[in-house]
Chain A
Amino acid sequence: MDGTLLRSLTPGVIGILVRRGADFAAAEDAVQDALVEAVRVWPDDPPRDPKGWLVTVAWRRFLDAARADTTRRRREDLVDGEPEPGPVSGVDDTLWLYFLCAHPSLTPSSAVALTLRAVGGLTTRQIARAYLVPEATMAQRISRAKRTVAGARFDRPGDVATVLRVLYLVFNEGYSGDVDLAAEAIRLTRGLAAAVDHPEVSGLLALMLLHHARRTARTDADGALVPLAEQVRGRWDTALIAEGVGILQGALARDRLGEFQAQAAVAALHADAPTAEETDWVQIVEWYDELVRLTDSPVVRLNRAVAVGEADGPRAGLAALAELDDSLPRHTAVAAYLRERDGDLAEAARLYAEAARRATDLAERDHLTRCAARINTRLRG
């Protein structure tokens, strides 16, 4: 029994049922029933059109449930007005499900959970484990999300940017136990890229592949963070880098620049450097200028200050940093790094220690504490 096939078909089938008028939760229940039936029947009697088979069975289940419901009459009217299930169209309905799960009325964390459930086909237990919350908590969050979008009707495609943001959130959650959310986000983004022709979808896919390619080099054997400049580049996944760069080039050629393409371009320039010293910082600064123009985000300006520090020296970086609000996350860490490069070790050590106190992530905090310790050791010795 091919579990991957079933999982990849699921979102499309749910999408078709919802489009035909089933509400989200009922559609999902019906599809779950159909999947159970498929696992039972298919080994002895494989269907010629697996998706069509699932749609037919799921729709029948939905009708059975709907008939048994107290709102029977209303639903039967609804069903009556619908055309008979005909040949099943391809990606369109899955795409529609992406937009439903990224509905603007959902909070980002609910949108992420619903996307993993409906489009990704993950179980509630798997999602709960990935987010380190009890299964009951995640089940509640998902049903609340389903209730929120229950009445949603779409006459036109939603906003691709919102879907991309949700997928990027999934990617940034990393992995725990049996679910690797980064890999899952890449799978979902590939699905989206196959269904919708938009250079920013390719931009996000390229960005994810380029980040993912460096994952094993990002921590050492003790689990400590390894900064980009110190990573063993031989441990980067060159096949993923090549794929990411290829996808990015295709997107850039279409001349509709967006923030994900620009971010991917920065990642590609890092991936392209054989050693940290050979990084093309001048071009990276240019891409950050584009990003500032596209997003005007303070975080982007902060990253730009780092790049300026590398391209034009730490003094220039500190000058760029001085224009930014020092309450920004990581502002102190960047200041510490630039001070260190400028030779002001005492101030750098003090700032690293302060940045460590402000860090919101344990690995980051340990890394910054080590930086402070490294400099303090040098100052004593």
Chain B
Amino acid sequence: MAKYLLLKHYRGAPAAVNDVPMDRWTPEEIAAHVRYMDDFAARLEETGEYVDSQALSPEGVFVRYDGEGRPPVTDGPFAETKDLIAGWMVIDVDSHERAVELAGELSAAPGAGGRPIHEWLELRPFLGAAPTVTE
């Protein structure tokens, strides 16, 4: 089993196919979207592939060590391209293929008009000790 981090972006990822901001959806479309995400997580819990997930606030800053005293804080060194992460999910799966499959499924969550959002999700494997025993 290997752990993967699925990152959902506010900004920084290529635009989704069905790219309509959520407050332009109908309340029913939002409800359907939330239900899809919940069902997705519940199903992964059943297969034992779910680890954790959290939503993140769009408020974030860059911090750097700058010698003694308080470290400087800025809104971001490259404000116009600043990447914003909206949330993450950690999954624990058998293979990279399975991780890609699940990310694809999550990206198909319904959005405006009930059609899939087709958003880009970032998929990053966790670094860890390589397994020494092959079964």
Contact = CB atoms under 8 A, between A and B. Distances in A.
B58 A370 contact: no
Contacts of B35: 222
A-side interface mostly: helix
Interface string B1-32: 00000000000000000000111111101110
A126 interface: no
A377 B26 contact: yes
Contact of B30 (A223, A349, A370): A370
Contacts of A356: 23
A372 B30 CA distance: 11
Interface in A207-224: 222-224
B34 A373 contact: no
Nearest to B23: A372
Nearest to A365: B55
Given A353-B23, A373-B24, A360 B30 contact: no
B47 interface: no
Contact of B34 (A360, A366, A372): A366
Contact of A373 (B27, B38, B57, B58): B27
Given A222-B34, A222-B35, A370 B27 contact: yes
Interface in B26-57: 26-27, 29-31, 34-35, 38, 55, 57
B-side interface mostly: helix
Contact of B27 (A360, A362, A365, A377): A377
B106 to A, nearest CB: 17
A357 B84 CA distance: 12
Contact of B58 (A222, A357, A369, A372): A357
Contacts of B38: 222-223
A265 to B, nearest CB: 34
Residue among A369, A372, A373 having the largest count of chain B Cβ atoms under 10 Å: A373
Contacts of A224: 31, 34
Contacts, number: 37
A357 B57 CA distance: 8
Interface string B85-115: 0000000000000000000000000000000
A369 B35 CA distance: 15
Interface residues of B, number: 16
A356 B21 CA distance: 12
A377 B30 CA distance: 12
A96 interface: no
A220 to B, nearest CB: 10
A303 interface: no
B100 to A, nearest CB: 27
Contacts of B29: 373
B87 to A, nearest CB: 9
A224 B33 CA distance: 13
A198 interface: no
Nearest to A381: B26
Contacts of B30: 366, 369-370, 373
Contacts of A366: 30, 34
B60 to A, nearest CB: 12
Interface in A322-381: 349, 352-353, 356-357, 360, 362, 365-366, 369-370, 372-374, 376-377
B24 to A, nearest CB: 6
A376 B21 CA distance: 11
Interface string A220-247: 0011100000000000000000000000
Contact of B55 (A223, A349, A362): A362
B57 A376 contact: no
A123 to B, nearest CB: 23
Nearest to B22: A369
A372 B38 CA distance: 22
Contacts of A369: 22-23, 30
List the 4 closest pairs (A to B, CB-CB), nearest first.
Answer: A372-B23, A353-B23, A377-B26, A370-B27
13 contacts: A222-B35, A353-B21, A356-B23, A357-B58, A369-B22, A369-B30, A372-B23, A373-B24, A373-B26, A373-B27, A376-B23, A376-B24, A377-B26
Interface of A: 222-224, 349, 352-353, 356-357, 360, 362, 365-366, 369-370, 372-374, 376-377
